[in-house]
A = this chain, B = another copy of it.
Amino acid sequence: MIEEKENIQFELTDELIEQVELYVETQNDKELKRLLNDYHHADVAEILDELDLEDSVYVIKLLDSETTSDILMELDEDIREKVLKHLSAKEIAEEIEELDTDDAADMIAELPEERQAEVISKIEDNEHREEITELLAYDEDTAGSLMAKELVKVYETWTVAGCLRRIRGQAKDVTRVHSIYVVNKEEKLIGRLSLKDLIVAKSEQKISDIAKDNVDFVNVIDDVEDVAKVMAKYDLEAIPVVDDEQTLLGRITIDDIVDVLKEEADKDYQLAAGITQDVEADDSILELTRARLPWLFLGLVGGVGAFLIMEGFEEAFKGKAFVLFFFTPLIAAMAGNVGVQSSAIIVQGLANDDVKGSINSRLIKEMLLAALNGTILALFLFLFVWATKGDFTTALAISTSLIAVIIVAGLIGTFVPLFLDKRGIDPAIATGPFITTSNDIFGILIYFWIARLILGI
A interface residue numbers (CB < 8 A to B) = 1-2, 4, 7-9, 40, 42, 50, 76, 164, 167-168, 171-172, 174, 176-177, 189-191, 194-196, 199-200, 208, 211, 213-219, 222, 226, 229-230, 232-235, 237, 246, 254-255, 257-259, 261-262, 265-266, 268-270, 272-275, 279-282, 285, 288-289, 292-293, 295-297, 299-300, 302-304, 306-307, 310-311, 314, 323, 325-334, 336-338, 340-341, 343-346, 348-349, 352, 354-356, 362, 365, 368-369, 372-373, 376-377, 380-381, 384, 431-433, 436-437, 440, 444
Contact = CB atoms under 8 A, between A and B. Distances in A.
Tell which of A191, A314, A373 has the most Cβ of chain B within 10 Å.
A373
A101 to B, nearest CB: 16
Given A281-B354, A289-B369, A272 B269 contact: yes
A419 to B, nearest CB: 15
9 contacts: A177-B194, A237-B237, A270-B348, A274-B340, A280-B352, A289-B372, A289-B373, A296-B377, A297-B380
Contacts of A217: 8
Nearest to A302: B333
Contacts of A384: 304
Contacts of A295: 337, 341
B303 A327 contact: yes
Chain A interface, DSSP helix/strand/loop, else mixed = helix
A197 to B, nearest CB: 9
A215 B336 CA distance: 50
Contacts of A266: 348
